[in-house]
């Protein structure tokens, strides 16, 4: 295959920040299926080839030019992914004796921390695939199918769209799925922002940058438990039944807010409660709300358009204890909604990318060099899935979609799903900066706070 057959472009600003973040451990996206029916490996590989044909970003390789300090996405014309299989006898060494951590969870955490984009000596891997596929035997009757993706090439929306395509192919038993072959590499988000949306006068940009920097010095954090040991990403689950989920969603709808505002409010209350501070003592916490910009771009993109097209809006909130959940939820969501109406999800992209890269290069600029940029991050909209029918069709027992955050990022990243009417959040955190017990207690308190909100809504 000649070099002329490849297509290549330099990464955009947002993609560059992820290229900087992933070597440190933030931005390794994992989609994992827990199956009770053995996967057909040749079929799975053909199905992934179909996905790579229809989504050029998924067959791209990430290259780094050390002389210019730049990254590029280089896309070969044909699919090339190989599924790697680890049998149960080899997987068993990963499995812990902790009864609170399932074999499936252990595999997901292992994948989040398996950084294929950096060498053991810390240098970047040349021509690294952005998509990796693994199958693990969890037991004699359970398997995990895992896709690991570099976030610069594919965000949560694109990854879940591909997962739906893959599940559809697995259900039909067909590996083509009717996909058409695409050859054009996707554009970066900066190339698709409508004219005028990113404009900000020079002095306004300077004031905003100064504001972000000074504000960060006043922010409180969740208590750090170990700042010395090297970190990895772990997760716990926040689950609620369909009745409680329905009450929560109804409460949000009646107040004109989205679920993200409620989850942020519960996280803020739980974080402050964990410190046992006297009521009335103020603390300022930062929250990051991630919004999918596809429908706002020019041209408008669909959820099936693979690339990174999310933007973050960061707000800070003063918490003094004794806050009402719903009142705080309205406050957090209104702050986000107003910022979005003022186009801050576009106008502040370059500023936040710059600050993110500065934090990566200078961790000492963050408290305890912890690289924490906010208390919590939440997506504007949850993923809504209906998968009960796949239990019998392909033996789908469970699935998780999340990403690592133990480099630069929040203390808690919520990847929320409404699955068959039930709220299911994968809550990712950096360990041992935060311990599993600390996070289990925090998420348990968040659930209690949400359940109290359900009772209030019912009353």
Q: Is 393 domain-assigned?
A: no
Judge if 216 and 151 occupy the same domain: no
Instruction: Report the share of the chain in percent with pLDDT over 70.
Output: 92
CATH number of the domain residue 44 falls in: 3.30.559.10
* Sole residue written with tokens 């068959």: 420
Query: Measuring CA to CA, which residue among 376, 359, 377, 356 is closest to residue 368?
Result: 359
Q: Is 74 domain-assigned?
A: yes
Alpha-carbon separation of residue 444 from 247, 269, 325 (angstroms): 18, 12, 16
> How far apart, in whole angstroms, are the C-alpha atoms of residue 26 and residue 115?
10
Please, which pLDDT band fits residue 3 given cuts at 50, 70 and 90? very low
Of 188, 219, 239, which closes a domain? 188
Query: How many C-beta atoms lie closer than 10 Å to residue 346's C-beta?
Result: 22
> How far apart, in whole angstroms, are the C-alpha atoms of residue 446 and residue 267?
6
Judge if 66 and 104 occupy the same domain: yes
- Number of structural domains, the chain? 2
Summarize pLDDT for 284-328 with one digit per residue, the tens. 999 999 999 999 999 999 988 999 999 999 999 999 999 999 999
Q: Is 446 domain-assigned?
A: yes
Of 19-33, 79-93, 163-177, 284-298, the one with minimum mean pLDDT is 163-177
Judge if 13 and 32 occupy the same domain: yes
The arithmetic mean of pLDDT across residues 354-381, rounded, is 92
Judge if 431 and 347 occupy the same domain: yes
Query: Measuring CA to CA, which residue among 419, 309, 401, 376 is closest to residue 29?
Result: 401
> How far apart, in whole angstroms, are the C-alpha atoms of residue 91 and residue 139?
9
Judge if 181 and 213 occupy the same domain: no
The arithmetic mean of pLDDT across residues 234-261, rounded, is 96
Judge if 83 and 200 occupy the same domain: no
Given a cut of 60, whether residue 123 has pLDDT beyond it is: yes
Query: What confidence score (pLDDT) does residue 171 get?
Result: 80
Given a cut of 50, whether residue 2 has pLDDT beyond it is: no
Of 133, 160, 188, which closes a domain? 188
Would you state the structure tokens that stand for residue 337, as one six-digit string?
A: 């909604």
Judge if 86 and 175 occupy the same domain: yes
Judge if 148 and 194 occupy the same domain: no
Query: What confidence score (pLDDT) does residue 142 get?
Result: 95
Would you state the structure tokens that stand for residue 181, as one six-digit string?
A: 């072959």
Q: Is 249 domain-assigned?
A: yes
Of 188, 211, 240, which closes a domain? 188
Average pLDDT, the chain: 90
The arithmetic mean of pLDDT across residues 344-353, rounded, is 89
Query: Measuring CA to CA, which residue among 427, 409, 157, 397 is closest to residue 270?
Result: 427
Segments forming the whole domain that contains residue 100: 3-188
Judge if 75 and 154 occupy the same domain: yes
> How far apart, in whole angstroms, are the C-alpha atoms of residue 77 and residue 70?
23
Judge if 149 and 250 occupy the same domain: no
Residues contacting 364, CB < 8 A, separation 6+:
none
Q: Is 290 domain-assigned?
A: yes
CATH number of the domain residue 273 falls in: 3.30.559.30
Instruction: Report the share of the chain in percent with pLDDT over 90.
Output: 71
Query: What confidence score (pLDDT) does residue 216 get?
Result: 65
Q: Is 305 domain-assigned?
A: yes
Query: What confidence score (pLDDT) does residue 393 get?
Result: 84
The arithmetic mean of pLDDT across residues 87-115, rounded, is 88
Given a cut of 90, whether residue 39 has pLDDT beyond it is: yes
Judge if 170 and 217 occupy the same domain: no
The arithmetic mean of pLDDT across residues 207-219, rounded, is 62
> How far apart, in whole angstroms, are the C-alpha atoms of residue 287 and residue 296?
22
Given a cut of 70, whether residue 387 has pLDDT beyond it is: yes
């Amino acid at each position: 295959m000649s070099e002329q057959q490849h297509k290549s472009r330099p990464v955009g600003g947002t993609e560059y920040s992820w290229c900087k973040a992933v070597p440190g451990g933030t931005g390794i996206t994992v989609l994992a299926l827990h199956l009770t029916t053995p996967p057909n490996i040749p079929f799975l590989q053909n199905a992934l080839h179909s996905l790579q044909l229809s989504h050029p970003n998924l067959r791209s390789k990430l290259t780094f030019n050390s002389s210019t300090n730049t990254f590029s996405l280089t896309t070969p014309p044909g699919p090339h992914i190989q599924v790697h299989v680890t049998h149960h006898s080899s997987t068993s060494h990963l499995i812990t004796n902790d009864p609170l951590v399932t074999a499936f969870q252990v595999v997901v955490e292992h994948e989040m921390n398996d950084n294929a984009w950096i060498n053991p000596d810390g240098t970047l891997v040349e021509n690294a695939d952005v998509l990796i596929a693994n199958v693990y035997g969890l037991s004699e009757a359970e398997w995990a199918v895992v896709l690991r993706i570099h976030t610069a090439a594919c965000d949560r929306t694109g990854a879940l769209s591909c997962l739906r395509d893959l599940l559809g192919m697995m259900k039909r038993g067909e590996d083509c799925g009717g996909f058409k072959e695409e050859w054009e590499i996707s554009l970066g988000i900066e190339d698709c922002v409508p004219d005028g949306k990113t404009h900000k006068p020079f002095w306004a940009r300077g004031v905003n940058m100064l504001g972000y920097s000074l504000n960060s010095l006043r922010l409180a954090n969740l208590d750090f438990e170990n700042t010395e040991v090297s970190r990895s990403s772990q997760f716990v689950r926040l689950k609620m039944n369909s009745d409680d989920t329905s009450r929560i969603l109804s409460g949000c709808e009646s107040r004109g807010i989205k679920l993200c505002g409620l989850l942020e409010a519960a996280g803020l209350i739980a974080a402050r409660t964990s410190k046992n501070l006297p009521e009335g003592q103020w603390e300022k916490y930062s929250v990051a709300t991630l919004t999918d910009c596809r429908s706002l771009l020019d041209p408008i993109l669909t959820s099936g358009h693979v690339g990174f097209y999310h933007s973050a809006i960061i707000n800070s909130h003063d918490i003094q204890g004794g806050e009402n959940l719903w009142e705080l939820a309205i406050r957090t969501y209104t702050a986000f909604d107003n910022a979005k109406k003022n186009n801050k999800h576009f106008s502040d992209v370059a500023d936040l990318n710059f600050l993110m890269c500065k934090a990566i290069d200078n961790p000492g600029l963050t408290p305890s060099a912890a690289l924490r940029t906010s208390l919590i991050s939440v997506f504007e909209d949850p993923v809504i899935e209906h998968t009960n029918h796949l239990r019998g069709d392909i033996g789908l027992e469970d699935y998780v979609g999340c990403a690592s955050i133990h480099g630069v990022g929040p203390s808690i990243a919520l990847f929320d799903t409404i699955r068959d009417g039930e709220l299911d959040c994968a809550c990712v955190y950096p360990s041992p900066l935060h311990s599993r017990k600390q996070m289990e207690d925090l998420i348990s308190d968040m659930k209690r706070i949400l359940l109290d909100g359900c009772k209030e809504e019912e009353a």
